[in-house]
Structure 1
Amino acid sequence: MKLSAELQAFERRIGHQFSRPELLVRALTHGSISSPTRLDNQRLEFLGDRVLGLVMAEALLDDDKTASEGQLAPRFNALVRKEACAEVAREIDLGAVLKLGRSEMLTGGRRKQALLGDAMEAVIAAVYKDAGFVTARDVILGLWGERIRTVEADARDPKTALQEWAQARGEAPPKYTELDRSGPDHAPVFTIVARMDNGSEARATGGSKRLAEQRAAAALLRKLEPNQ
């Protein structure tokens, strides 16, 4: 089986050339276009999630040899959650090579966070089945890059902290409103405002709604607690 020029370019973006290219095709095939002769990526997604988890657990242990389990767990969650997978998928333009049914294409499937995250995990599994764990680990570490070393900031949860701040003072929970969405489908930029009932607010941008909300919450916390 010979891959199209588009998929060969995608191989270069992830840093792995498949000896069994049918694995990559399956990893990129969404259920909306599957058939008895065209398998979708759900089983690969299941496997890829586990491969990613093992790689990240090992990488975190190697990166910080003194961290406790309580410190490692939120870092791990930040690196393997669907949002993180989708962000990596956007960086390598995975959406452009997804194989989708017409309904998904019409509803913007190539930029949907869930579809991108699932496909990213499926691609990881495809690399693992094609070339083994060491190669899959190298691909993952290359794609996740600096996220592993800077994950401590991402592991903090400003939205939870802001909600706890409000609860401690008998105030209503903060509200988050999307103000704008710009950029191409594979690399969107969201602008979110976080507001309290007392009139305090802050806004921020991010490559996903969740990231923009987290940044807005952190900015609002800094306003509310400037000395913290």
Structure 2
Amino acid sequence: MHHSQDTRGRVSRGMFGRLAKMLLLVLCASPASYAQSQELSAPYSISEELFPEYQEPLFITDHVNRILKEHAGNILYPEDVAKIDLSDITPNFSRVYFSTTSGRTEVKFNRIEDGYHYFTVRNEVFPNRTSEFRIKGRIYESELDSGRFLNLRRDCFFELGPCELKAKPDQKYGAFDRKFLNGVWVNKRKVIGTRGYAYQNIILDKNGIILYSSTAFGFGREGYDYEILEETSN
């Protein structure tokens, strides 16, 4: 059973900070090409196979299958995580994303320093404002302020199964259940302070950079609002 078209069209509005947060949670580095081939073993079906309580709408499933088909051979699987490498990032590397919350965002390679690849992020809502992140292998860090970075891919980011993230040993700030299905990282996240959950589909390329992300926010009975981020050529 799928949600109505009205539910499909309901997307939350956000500004630069929210989009940046989405990018920071899933963005890493990307290759220009890979000689190693990888065939899609089976089409992605629906997240209901992994989380039966979440009834995923057909338009999300269609988006996911289209991205998997377009990028077949360059999709990150769990066994690929240890091989994440930025050696093929070129000086003119850039990617453009479109978000249903904040429009167009451009990511550009900036420099290599102390083994880290640095990238800048610019969103059309704030064209004169940039943010920065740096990556080294599977390590991804975003800039908090001048000279200070926070690693956003620590703990169990790529680990499958339940996970609790803690700001301090006694301070939990997130409970996740992460699974993988035919090229898609499917996450279930407890929404702190409520009884609700957020469900997220993420597709990454071989170097861990995001190709597609869709997040469902809501409580099930009332339906969900959808937030979508997708790599685009425009």
Pairwise same-fold verdict (TM > 0.5)? no
TM-score by length of 1: 0.22
Bigger Rg over Cα: 1
Structure that is richer in strand per residue: 2
Relative contact order, higher structure (CA 8 A, sep 6+): 2
